[in-house]
Chains A and B, each alone.
Chain A
Amino acid sequence: MQKEPITLTYDAIVIGGGIAGGEAALNLANNGYKVVLVESRLSVGGKMIMLSKVFPTLDCSACITTPKVSEISRHPNIKIFTESDITSIDKLGEQSFVVKMTQRPRYVVAEDCTACQLCEQACPVIVKDQFQYGLVGRKAVYIPFSIASPKVAAIDIDNCTLCGACEKVCPPGCIDFTMKPKEYIFNVKTAIVATGFRLYDPTNVPRYSYGTAKNVITSIQMERLLAPTRPFHTILRSSDGKVPDKIAYVLCAGSRDDSMGNPICSQICCMYSIKQAQLLLGALPMADITIYYIDIRAFGKGYDEFYEQAVSMGVRFVKGKIGKITEKENGNLTLRYEDVATGKLKEAEHDMVVLSVGVKPNKEAADLFKSHKLELDGLSFVKQSDPLLSPAKTSIDGVFVAGAATGPKDIPDSILSAGAASTEAISYLNQKSQ
């Protein structure tokens, strides 16, 4: 164990390396401020780096995220820590915060790893790949995903058998099982919370059979199936390899639903489902795609046109929330719903069902702040103290919030809010220092 924590000084800390945190860090850095960016996972990029294409422009998500991510990681004013947990943030006074952080060991010397993947080939352990949302497996030593940043291997020590196979094959010899957690202390003047959101866990709704029926997947799994860096290089049912030709979308799966424990609209799921439907028709032109909805909420610029485009491409829209999903012997699924337009109870068979899961808060953010309370709203998203006029302000002076940490947001809105948060942070730094 290292004896003394390493103490470093920055102008700002950004917590969360998703698109919002990345954008905020970049804005600050481009204005000459020194920024430390802390990400709890192995790679920065958040949800966005995992997406296929993005509504409403259908730009390739990886192609616009990767340049941004590499700009952030090369920026002289930005220092990134991945695989790191903040343990406390204390405010001593205006423009004076003390942050304690622990970096978990990767068991790979990041500077030396060339991402040759020989260790992956040698490792005998196979577990579910969390970065592919369980669609495929990975090894106990692995590179998180092909466009990860940093693109460096890491050992999942909980699943590693310490057989040493990787160590033997690694050309630069950068695997080090003796690595220990590293403690840091940062003195900073301002903080931006960009911890993003969590996805609704559909196992909370047993009648949707997620987790028991093989061909019921979530929308984020479908993003992976559609992405350019996708695991199978085609769309198929991971259970039996069949190419689906009758796909259903269940909207509001875990949103706008008191009985499922989330009363609010998640704002993005109508749109990403419409996007996925269009991409699916591109990949599988003969497929039938049906979207079961309560209301289609397409409020942003160009969004309604995007919806109309899906309609004209032949995506079927049926008003009625799915009540029950049952698996048939051949793996197909029977969906029971009321066709609200005719008022009749109906059943439909599909060979793949996508649950358009909603957005839930990442409550952890509030626990990081010890001396002052970071207030949450009624649904446990970070509370905006002045949502109309200063949407980036929080209950603590000098702490700002960006992206989906305040509630469901799509990418354009996350970027905008990151702009607001970095601007607010800069004026906080300037105002008070004079």
Chain B
Amino acid sequence: MSRINTKFGKELKRYGAVDFNKCYNCGTCTAVCSLSTGEDSFPRSMVRLSETGDKKGVESSLKPWLCYYCGDCSVNCPQTADPGELMMSLRRWLTAKYDWTGLSGLFHRSGLANIIAMILVAVGVIVYSFTQSFDQEGIMHFAHLFEMYAIATVFAVILLPNIIRMWYMTVVKPGYKVPFKAYYKSAGELFVHMFTQKRSLGCDDNQARWFAHFVLVIGYLTLLFTTVFLDWFSNESIFVNLLGYAVSAVVFIVTFVFVLGRIKQKHQVSKKSRPSDWFFVIWLFLMGVTAFFVKVFIDLEILENNFWLFLLHFTILVQWAVIIVPFGKWTHFLYRSFAMYFDKLRKSVPAESAKK
């Protein structure tokens, strides 16, 4: 039985989508989308589910993750219903749905909540440093440990349960009986997508954007690796030192270019940036820059007199680790990769046995 649920539309509006009710179902968006296929046709199908308020349909759908927001559909929509922005909002909504803590939803909807959380974290770092009487060695050591534990905890307590919830909503609940073998047979898909986001290459004239993304992902992961596992700040090896400099520079330069793009609003994608989009790029940028200069200061042996810089870097790091990574846009990157994986799993089930 189908019933129109107009409340869902109102809910979605809080995640950014405002115009999708103008849609008159012409299918142009699907026809111009270079990622849409006969098997996975979108975005009109998602516009339809949103218009009618079919929450279950949206919840179990992986299509929002197949879209890379090139904006072609929005540019060509006869009704200016902005289907691309709807897809983006659905990703935000799904992120909120997968997250058991409910914080993702809050941060996606409200800029204020983001700011309050950021301030609280900053205050926390300052209070902690105060109790340590701003002892440089102790705080730097703690910061290093914190990074490792934070990564482990965020992953175990938040991201992993959320991915399991996503799996439940998109694979188990809709009734796909995926054979066990398929799980490891498709695992390769997961990693390839995670590192390359290769699907977005299918977008027309998107090669440059894809490459920038790819460089950023690799840069970010390498920076994480150099600071956490190679302990860049205290490492003496020339190679590690240079690597650290290089990757932190890559991270802040590429993010700078992205921020410029958002400000100029050149691409359709950037026309409707939300607070969470801004936080993501700006913090990535700040992380890169501060890491770079902390290391410069260490190497010039002037960090002692400029310890505020390290505290700034540490604050940004904590904000990134406890707010943006578990609840912000970073998760999109994770869910996207898993969506490809789950999609492959669902397709491994013969059509007749997959119950609708």
Query: What is A's interface to B at a CB cutoff of 8 Å?
Result: 207, 252, 256-260, 294-295, 319-324, 336-340, 343-346
Contact = CB atoms under 8 A, between A and B. Distances in A.
Given A320-B31, A324-B32, 11 more contacts: A207-B76, A258-B80, A259-B78, A294-B25, A323-B31, A336-B32, A338-B30, A338-B41, A344-B41, A345-B31, A345-B41
Interface in B58-90: 75-80
B29 to A, nearest CB: 8
Please indicate which of the listed interface residues A207, A258, A323, A337 has the most CB atoms of chain B within 10 Å of its own CB: A323
Contacts of A324: 31-32
18 contacts: A258-B77, A258-B80, A259-B77, A259-B78, A259-B80, A295-B24, A321-B78, A323-B27, A323-B29, A336-B31, A336-B32, A337-B27, A338-B30, A338-B41, A338-B44, A340-B27, A345-B31, A346-B38
Given A344-B38, A345-B41, A346-B38, A258 B27 contact: no
Contacts of A258: 77-80
Contacts of B79: 258
Contacts of A344: 38, 41
Q: Is the interface of B mostly helix, strand, loop or mixed?
A: loop
A295 B78 CA distance: 14
Interface residues of B, number: 22
B30 A345 contact: yes
Contacts of B27: 319-321, 323, 337-340
Q: Decide if the interface of chain A is mainly helix, strand, loop or mixed.
A: strand
Contact of A340 (B25, B32, B38, B76): B25
Interface string B42-70: 00110010000000000000000000000
Contacts of B41: 338, 343-345
A37 B79 CA distance: 41
Contacts of A294: 24-26
B26 A321 contact: yes
Nearest to A293: B26
B153 interface: no
A323 B78 contact: no
Nearest to A257: B78
Contacts of B48: 343
B42 to A, nearest CB: 9
B305 interface: no
A29 B36 CA distance: 61
B65 to A, nearest CB: 17
A321 B28 contact: yes
A338 B32 CA distance: 9
Nearest to B40: A345
A343 B45 contact: yes
B75 A259 contact: yes
Contacts of A321: 26-28, 31, 78
Nearest to A322: B31
A339 B31 CA distance: 9
Interface string B15-35: 000000000111111111000
Contacts of A336: 31-32
Contacts of B25: 294, 340
A22 to B, nearest CB: 35
Nearest to A260: B78
B133 interface: no
Given A207-B32, A338-B30, A323 B76 contact: yes
Nearest to A262: B78
B78 A256 contact: yes
B131 interface: no
A320 B25 CA distance: 8
B78 to A, nearest CB: 4
A218 B32 CA distance: 21
A322 B37 CA distance: 15
B203 to A, nearest CB: 14
A324 B34 CA distance: 11
A321 B32 CA distance: 10
Contacts of B75: 259
Contacts of A322: 31
B117 to A, nearest CB: 39
Contact of B28 (A319, A323, A346): A323
Contacts of B29: 323
A259 B81 CA distance: 11
B76 A259 contact: yes
